[in-house]
Amino acid sequence: MIRRLIRRVLCGALLWILIFFEVSILMFGLNLKGGLVYSILHYPLLAILSVVVAIIYFNKVHASFIEGFKTSIVMFITSIILDALISIPLFIKDWNFFLDKFLLIGYLEIILVISLTGYFLRDTKKPRGKARFIKTFHGAEN
């Protein structure tokens, strides 16, 4: 239980770091400060990064929609904490940052994408422990 929580927090931190670099590249490398072009690039990249981190997480954990949802909530909380500790004091300097509708859309996208990734990866992992025994006992072995 604790190892799974630590794994979720670490994957949440990884996702936050990847998003930080992605936003930095869009803002400073491509000189996009928001608007339509920024959104067209940012939200699909955010979904891709979320899927990549979810796959990393589910590499060692049985995937399901519920597991994906729980993981996404922990990653969401991890992102809020890192934004509060790093992004706002060092870069943004405005606590109204958390009220930005585009940030909230991004958080919702992360929760949805990671939950759905857990759902779609659910059949790719063999059941472990008691569930595997039950399937084997009833003759439904893969």
pLDDT digits (tens, 9 = 90+) for 52-66: 999 999 998 889 999
* Geometric angle at alpha carbon 130, from 126 and 131, rounded to 5°: 45
Structural contact between residues 54 and 68, judged by C-beta atoms closer than 8 angstroms: yes
In this predicted structure, the answer to whether residue 133 has a pLDDT above a threshold of 50 is no
Domain extents for the chain?
2-137
**Residue whose C-alpha is closest to residue 10's, from 66, 52, 57, 63:** 57
Average pLDDT over residues 20-31: 92
**Residue whose C-alpha is closest to residue 51's, from 113, 122, 124:** 113
For residue 112, what pLDDT is reported? 97
35 — pLDDT class (breaks 50, 70, 90)? confident
Please give the model's pTM, rounded to 2 decimal places.
0.80
Average pLDDT over residues 75-86: 94
Question: What is the rounded average pLDDT for all residues in the chain?
Answer: 86
Average pLDDT over residues 22-36: 88
Count Cβ atoms below 10 Å from residue 49 Cβ, excluding itself: 20
* Geometric angle at alpha carbon 55, from 87 and 48, rounded to 5°: 55
* DSSP-based three-state secondary structure for 141: coil
102 — pLDDT class (breaks 50, 70, 90)? confident
Average pLDDT over residues 31-55: 91
* Geometric angle at alpha carbon 99, from 109 and 30, rounded to 5°: 65
Average pLDDT over residues 128-141: 51
For residue 93, what pLDDT is reported? 83
In this predicted structure, the answer to whether residue 140 has a pLDDT above a threshold of 90 is no
61: left (phi over 0), alpha (psi -120 to 50) or beta: beta
Structural contact between residues 67 and 40, judged by C-beta atoms closer than 8 angstroms: no
Structural contact between residues 75 and 8, judged by C-beta atoms closer than 8 angstroms: yes
**Residue whose C-alpha is closest to residue 49's, from 15, 13, 82, 7:** 15
